[in-house]
Amino acid sequence: MSIYLLRRLGLALVTLWGVVTFVFLLIHLIPGDPVESMLGEGARPDEIVAMRKSLGLDLSLSEQYRNYWSDLFRLELGTSFRTGETALKTLAQTYPATLQLTLCSMLLGIMIALPCGVLTARRQGSLFDSTVSLISLLGISVPHFVFGPLLIIALAIRWPLLPVSGMGRWTHLVLPAITLGTALAAVLTRMIRAAMISELARPYVVTAFAKGLKERRAIYLHALKNGLMPVVTILGLQFGGLLAGAIITETIFSWQGIGRLMIQSIQARDYPLIQGCILGISATYIVINLLTDLAYSLLDPRVRY
């Protein structure tokens, strides 16, 4: 158990190191001189020199890298070019909105996928099964930026039940959560179905049926508990899909979360803030996956790396 824990923690740390290095190197990916491209064409030479110095870009690459890490440990992610606020503060302001959206979407996705996945596994080959399979494949194939606007056209313009975009009341959350949540449900349904099918074929489930347990009891008490184990891991992995989807969904619905902040920063070439957003999203994903894997190994002691 403890060796597994250490290895899993090691992988998370290596990944985190990889992400930080990637984010650090991003500034050097800018074609030409990064400082000149940040300041625009009309910049004076002394401005360029001052900017380069203030960003530490006049140092050698290894010194820059060391400084980047020490800044990171002091939670200094730089200052936004656009607003002059620290990147950390701006991130902290938008982070809860993204968390709210992704968690609601996840809840919605599970609420749809769980019954659908279990029922289709139980009634394999039935009309219900093939219909759900078709819809879920459709759900996987419809990108957020198609489904979102279609929802707006239908539920906010044609039949104005919900607000088009923005934040404020809970009604603003409904359309973006449906956009993200149904896409997640499509993926989850297929996975829960597959997991349940293999679980229902296990001898202990057959025994449960054979000794005359009611179908409900056999499925929900015995098979579901074990069948859902791999789904826990999948949920963690799918959280990445949700975070990535949030970038697009927040843009569509003007939901002021970290994803929209990132796109706005990209458009404004606000590089420190872009880097902060990438770090924030990746770190969230890495931590969530670490936690799900640890939870999984607690739930199922057989798991070894």
Partner 1 sequence: MKRLSAGYRAFSLTTRVSLWIILLFAAAALFSPWLAPYPYERQNLPHRLEGWNRQHWMGYDELGRDILSRLLYGARVSLMVGVVVVVGSALLGTLVGAVSGYYRGWMDDVLMRVVDTLMAVPGILLAIAFVAFRGPGLTNLITALLLIGWVGYARLVRGEVLKVREFDFVQGVLASGASDRRVLWRHIFPNIVDPLVVQVSLGMAGAVMSEASLSFLGLGITPPTPSWGSMLNAARNHIFEAPHLTLFPGLAIMLLVLAFNFLGEGLRQLGNRPWGEHR
Find the part of the chain contacting partner 1 (CB under 8 A) among 29-37, 66-74, 170-178, 204-212: 29-37
- Of the candidates 298, 294, 289, 183, the one whose C-alpha atom is nearest the C-alpha of residue 236 is 289
| Interface with partner 1, residue 6, by CB under 8 A | no
Min. distance of Cβ 141 from partner 1 in angstroms? 4
Site string for partner 1, 112-151 (x = CB under 8 A): -------------------------xx-xxxx-xx--xx-
Contact between 30 and partner 1 (CB under 8 A)? yes
The Cβ of residue 170 has, within 10 Å, a number of other Cβ atoms equal to 8
Least CB distance from residue 213 to partner 1, whole Å?
31
Q: What is the smallest separation between the CB atom of 289 and partner 1, expressed in angstroms? A: 7
- The residue type at 193: R
Single-letter amino acid code for the residue at 53? K
Residue 198 CA to residue 231 CA, distance in Å, equals 13
Q: Please tell me whether residue 155 binds partner 1 under the rule CB under 8 A.
A: no
Q: What is the DSSP string of 47-61?
A: HHHHHHHHHTTTS-H
Cβ 58 to partner 1 shortest distance, Å: 19
Contacting residue, 240, 296, 297, 303, with partner 1 by CB under 8 A: 240
Task: Using alpha carbons, select from 272, 225, 220 the residue that is nearest to residue 87.
Answer: 272
Coil, helix or strand for 77? coil
How many CB atoms neighbour CB 219 within 10 A?
22
Binding mask 271-300 for partner 1 (x = CB under 8 A): x--x---x--xx--xx--x-----------
- Report how many residues bind partner 1 under the rule CB under 8 A: 47
Give me the 45-84 binding string for partner 1, x by CB under 8 A, dash otherwise.
Answer: ----------------------------------------
Query: Rounded to whole angstroms, how far apart are CA atoms 298 and 1?
Result: 9
Structure tokens belonging to residue 149: 């606007």
Find the binder of partner 1 among 6, 9, 14, 287 (CB under 8 A).
14
Residue 92 found at the interface with partner 1 (CB under 8 A): no
194 binds partner 1 (CB under 8 A): no
Class of residue 3 by CB neighbours under 10 A (exposed 0-12, middle 13-18, buried 19+): exposed
Query: Can you give the C-alpha Rg of the chain in angstroms?
Result: 24
Give residue 24's Cα distance to chain centre.
21
Q: How far apart are CA 122 and CA 187, in angstroms?
A: 18
Given 55, 175, 248, 261, the residue binding partner 1 (CB under 8 A): 248
- Residue numbers at the binding site for partner 1 (CB under 8 A): 11-12, 14-15, 18-19, 22-23, 26-27, 29-31, 137-138, 140-143, 145-146, 149-150, 152-153, 157, 164, 240-241, 243-244, 247-248, 251-252, 262-263, 266-267, 271, 274, 278, 281-282, 285-286, 289
